[in-house]
Structure 1
Amino acid sequence: MASNRPAPEAPFVPGQGPETFAYGDRGPDEGPWEEWNPTEESLRPVRGRHRVAKQRGGGLARSSTVLGVGVMAAVGAGGMASANTGKPPVSISLPDLPSVGVPSVGSLFEDSSVQEETPQGSATALSDVGTAAAPSGRDTPDAGEALRNRIMAQAEQQQDQVEAKARAAAEAAAVKKAQADAAEAKREAERVAEAKAAAAKKKAEEEARRKAEAARLAELARQYTLPTSSYTITSTFGQAGTMWSSGHHTGLDFAAPTGTLIKAIHSGTITEAGWAGSYGYRTILTLDDGTELWFCHQSSITVTVGQKVSTGDVIGRVGATGNVTGPHLHLEVHPDGSPAGIDPMAWLHGKGLNP
């Protein structure tokens, strides 16, 4: 069991030299003093008649006062002895008194056979009381530090949770954006593919139509032919001028030498052949769809009304009869026999012919 550590003592050898606290020899009741260190054994209650009455309140204060006065007297006496005799001072060792359960100082000077009774309610030795009371003061900062560390740990944990949630939210947003971008890229790729497919389809359809039209025109070209050869186009449809009674040209002029052969453009029936005033000698060929072809200014006619002709058959010759300035073939096209004609150039192009 731990005990209070004694105070340092001055060098002293018992039995040598004078041992006094004042002038003269030591009295029979002045010592020698021994160090007293209370232990559990010394403080154990005495069973028997030699019991000391229990300490009342205020005993510690009175005992401390008495002890202080005794210490001051002893120190003063020792100082006086040292000053007068020149002898070394005597060291007085006092026990470390704990804050509670200290016996009265008067009991320290009683007969050793009479011991003080331990206060009821406590069987702990004084040295143990001091030892047990000390850690409570030291544990207070440690408990505060532990609480602070626990609070800081909780704060860090909460901060980590917030950061983890933020990271999770950012990752979820990034994943969602990536998915949206991927979906948009997929849709864009599909739109591009559809546009390319539509363009390719349209191109293929146009190519097919062009080929079909070319085939149709080639077939028509075999069915249709130009009205003459070795010609020059001198006047076109709609051309304005005073030489025409209507104020503009109503047909297409093929200038050629007189006597150049005039051929049937397509198969049909001759519905008119003879003189036509300003048109000179004129032949009208009516096709199966009702379209009338007028061949004017001929020098001669080789067919008769009601005659069936085929594509390329000779129906007359180029001349300069009627209202003309020179030999040429004046060609007019009248759909369904209407008085107003259309552009013969466009009509010939529609038949696969290029005058």
Structure 2
Amino acid sequence: MASNPPAPEAPYAPVQSPTDTFGYGGYRTDEGPWEEWNPTAESIRPVRGKHRVAKQRGGGFARSSTVLGVGVIAAVSAGGMASANTGKAPVSISMPDLPGVGSLISDDKPAPEAASALASFGSEAAVDADADADADADQSVADAGEALRSRIMAQAESQKTQVEVKAAAAAAKAKADAVVKAEKEAEAKAAAAKKKAAEEAAAKVEAARLAELAKQYTLPTSSYTITSTFGQAGSLWSSGYHTGLDFAAPTGTLIKAVHSGTVTEAGWAGAYGYRTILTLDDGTELWFCHQSSISVSVGQKVATGDVIGRVGATGNVTGAHLHLEVHANGNAEGIDPAAWLRSKGLNP
């Protein structure tokens, strides 16, 4: 019985690594054979710059690119050893672009700084350096706080100074205003006193003048009572108001010349009864009315106090009295006899 000849053995070809492995990219025929590689201080690239391991607080582990790189190297080394021992085909491994890892697995000759950094990792010196850095940071924060406090205190002092300056200015202004007010009050008092003194002096002068006039003028009668005043309204007077000043006195009471002058009329005058008109040197006419008798004649000159007649009740009267009228400058309209007498220093 015939049998099929065995198939020729296929040449050995490495199995292509699966796509979900750690490596990146496809299989490369120019790679291998693989050897175990253990990284040393001489086989890693030096770390550029200063490397600082952050101080962990709360019992945690230090994390850094250097630690991660060392872990990756260890994993790669273990994989190489396993491949050498099992005899399996070599597997292509590509390293991810991690910070610091490429420098650790580089073939360049390490620098002294890298070896020193690895050697001092986790040492007491590194911990002290971290502590010093933290102390420096704390000191910086304290200095910043002290600077802020100093600035706040300076601002508060400046504001306090401004308030004190404003208060002093307000007090000075109030004091100046008080001084100005006092000066004005003093000036007003001085002016008032001066005015009062001037008024008092003028009053004294006027009193002296009136006293001198009083020697030249006299009231027309004595023992009298004022019964009607000038301008008083009533139906008893034909003009509707009283045109003179009435001195009520008993019939026969003497009537005297108020001032020196000339008799320009003496006789009967209708409603005025018996009337005597005395004209003064300035032209003022004095009318003495309702006399019971006349003692002077027209053209006669009389002096102050001379008797010119007697009180009576002739004419339109209701009782015995002297009706006195004053006509300035011969004016038919009379003026107030009481005011005129007061201007001559007399008080009727």
Smaller-chain TM-score bracket: 0.5 to 0.7
1:286 corresponds to which of 251, 274, 279: 279
Asked if 1:140 is matched to 2:140, the reply is no
Measure, in 1, the Cα distance between the counterparts of 2:235 and 2:112. 155
What runs of 5+ residues in structure 1 fail to find an aligned partner?
1-53, 66-118
Measure, in 2, the Cα distance between the counterparts of 1:234 and 1:324. 12
Which amino acid letter does the alignment assign opposite residue 140 of structure 2?
A: L
Asked if 1:228 is matched to 2:214, the reply is no
Residue 305 of structure 1: SS of its match in structure 2?
A: coil
Q: Which residue in 2 is equivalent to 1:335?
A: 328
Asked if 1:195 is matched to 2:188, the reply is yes
Q: What is the TM-score when the length of structure 1 is the normalising length?
A: 0.60
CA distance 1:317–1:136, shift in 2 (3 Å): same
Q: Which residue in 2 is equivalent to 1:349?
A: 342
Equivalent pairs: percent with the same residue?
Answer: 63
Q: What is the TM-score when the length of structure 2 is the normalising length?
A: 0.61
Measure, in 2, the Cα distance between the counterparts of 1:270 and 1:248. 27
What are the within-5 Å matches in structure 2 for residues 1-355 of structure 1? 56-57=42-43, 135-355=128-348
Shift of 1:55: 7.0
| Aligned positions, number | 241
Which amino acid letter does the alignment assign opposite residue 275 of structure 1?
A: W
Which amino acid letter does the alignment assign opposite residue 138 of structure 1?
A: A
Shift of 1:132: 6.3
Measure, in 1, the Cα distance between the counterparts of 2:258 and 2:184. 51
Measure, in 2, the Cα distance between the counterparts of 1:304 and 1:138. 144
- Per mean C-alpha deviation after superposition, the further-off stretch among 253-262 and 173-182 is 253-262
Which amino acid letter does the alignment assign opposite residue 324 of structure 2?
A: L
Which amino acid letter does the alignment assign opposite residue 164 of structure 2?
A: E
CA distance 1:179–1:55, shift in 2 (3 Å): closer
Residue 234 of structure 1: SS of its match in structure 2?
A: strand
Which amino acid letter does the alignment assign opposite residue 266 of structure 1?
A: H
**What is the root-mean-square deviation of aligned Cα atoms in Å?**
3.0
Shift of 1:261: 1.6
What runs of 5+ residues in structure 2 fail to find an aligned partner?
1-39, 46-69, 75-110
Measure, in 1, the Cα distance between the counterparts of 2:271 and 2:142. 124
Q: Deviations over 1:189-246 (max 9, x none)?
A: 2232233223323332332333333223222222211001122223222333443332
Measure, in 2, the Cα distance between the counterparts of 1:261 and 1:324. 18
Shift of 1:173: 1.1
CA distance 1:209–1:120, shift in 2 (3 Å): closer
- Per mean C-alpha deviation after superposition, the further-off stretch among 331-340 and 180-189 is 180-189
Q: Deviations over 1:156-208 (max 9, x none)?
A: 12112211211111111111211221122222222322332233233323323
Which amino acid letter does the alignment assign opposite residue 57 of structure 1?
A: S
Measure, in 2, the Cα distance between the counterparts of 1:225 and 1:164. 88
Q: Deviations over 1:233-287 (max 9, x none)?
A: 2322233344333233221222223332211101222222222222222111112
